[in-house]
């Protein structure tokens, strides 16, 4: 049984559909109920089982309630895909609201760690678990996306968290890996293109617009299909990069 955060749209939705296609029951958690229900319908249409729980994963109480209702229904979680994240705030750092910066870290890093730490005891007891943290290529090149300090910081921290946890859990049967999904045509990319170039920087805006117009973005399905086969392996402590699949 699998939990996908941010399973209502984009990469999370595609991962959820492919997990369901592989035979997993999928729990979907995010804030937008309509999007979650839409994904659940798509899972049902392909003959799978999905369970929706609306929650903001930065809220410890909402996460606890979500996990309680999911495990009460289906038992312990075996697969956790920490996919939910934001790319915002995008702005010159001198103009950033530090609270907004901290909010991005809370979602992109702290919420991921909280979910993993909470599910770990049951995974360790069973001697089997799969944790995947959806990262970004920016973690390899933190200076490559100017005015995205929170995102660069969060994804680098996420990968350090992933590798440290994987090393700690070596030989337990619980694997922990990061997945850089590549440039993917999702709402997150559309949001970046919709920002004022003066605010986020013309170079950044032009790059994301060009990638879209030149058709170089992956579809969410293409990106997810580069992750799914990895989950069947015992590999741990890896950073799987859709831009450089090996």
Ligand X SMILES: NC(=O)c1ccc[n+]([C@@H]2O[C@H](COP(=O)([O-])OP(=O)(O)OC[C@H]3O[C@@H](n4cnc5c(N)ncnc54)[C@H](OP(=O)(O)O)[C@@H]3O)[C@@H](O)[C@H]2O)c1
Q: Which is closer to ligand X, CB of 113 or CB of 124?
A: 113
Contacts with ligand X, 190-229, as mask; x by CB under 6 A = ----------------------------------------
The residues annotated as belonging to the active site are 151
**Residue 8 near ligand X by CB under 6 A:** yes
User: For the chain, what's the residue count?
Assistant: 246
**Residue 181 near ligand X by CB under 6 A:** yes
**Residue 139 near ligand X by CB under 6 A:** no
Q: Which is closer to ligand X, CB of 125 or CB of 213?
A: 213
Q: Which is closer to ligand X, CB of 127 or CB of 144?
A: 144
Determine which residue in the list 56, 140, 173, 239 makes contact with ligand X, applying CB under 6 A.
56
Cα distance between residue 167 and residue 170, in whole Å: 5
> Which residues, other chains included, contact 70 with Cβ-Cβ below 8 Å and sequence gap of 6+?
1, 3, 27, 51, 53, 77
- Please check whether residue 175 is in contact with residue 234, taking contact to mean a CB–CB distance below 8 angstroms: yes
Residue nearest to ligand X (CB): 10
What is the binding site for ligand X (CB under 6 A)? 5-6, 8-12, 30-32, 35, 56-58, 83-86, 107, 134, 136, 181, 183-184, 186-189
């Amino acid at each position: 049984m699998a939990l996908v955060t941010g399973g209502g749209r984009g990469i999370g939705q595609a991962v959820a559909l492919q997990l369901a296609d592989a035979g997993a029951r999928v729990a979907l958690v995010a804030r937008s109920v309509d999007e979650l229900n839409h994904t659940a319908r798509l899972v049902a249409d392909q003959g799978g089982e999905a369970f929706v729980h609306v929650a903001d994963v930065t809220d410890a109480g909402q996460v606890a309630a979500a996990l309680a209702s999911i495990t009460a229904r289906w038992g312990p979680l075996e697969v956790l895909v920490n996919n939910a994240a934001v790319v915002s705030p995008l702005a010159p750092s001198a103009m950033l609201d530090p609270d907004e910066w901290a909010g991005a870290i809370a979602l992109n890093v702290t919420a991921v760690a909280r979910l993993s730490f909470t599910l770990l005891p049951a995974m360790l007891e069973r001697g089997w678990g799969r944790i995947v943290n959806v990262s970004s290529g920016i973690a390899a090149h933190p200076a490559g996306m100017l005015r995205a300090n929170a995102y660069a910081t969060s994804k680098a921290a996420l990968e350090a968290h992933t590798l440290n946890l994987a090393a700690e859990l070596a030989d337990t049967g619980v694997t922990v890996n990061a997945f850089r999904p590549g440039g993917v045509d999702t709402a997150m990319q559309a949001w970046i293109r919709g920002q004022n170039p003066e605010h986020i920087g013309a170079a950044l805006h032009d790059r994301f617009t060009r990638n879209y117009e030149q058709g170089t973005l992956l579809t969410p399905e293409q990106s997810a299909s580069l992750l799914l086969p990895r989950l069947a392996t015992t590999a741990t402590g890896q950073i799987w990069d859709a831009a450089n699949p090996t």
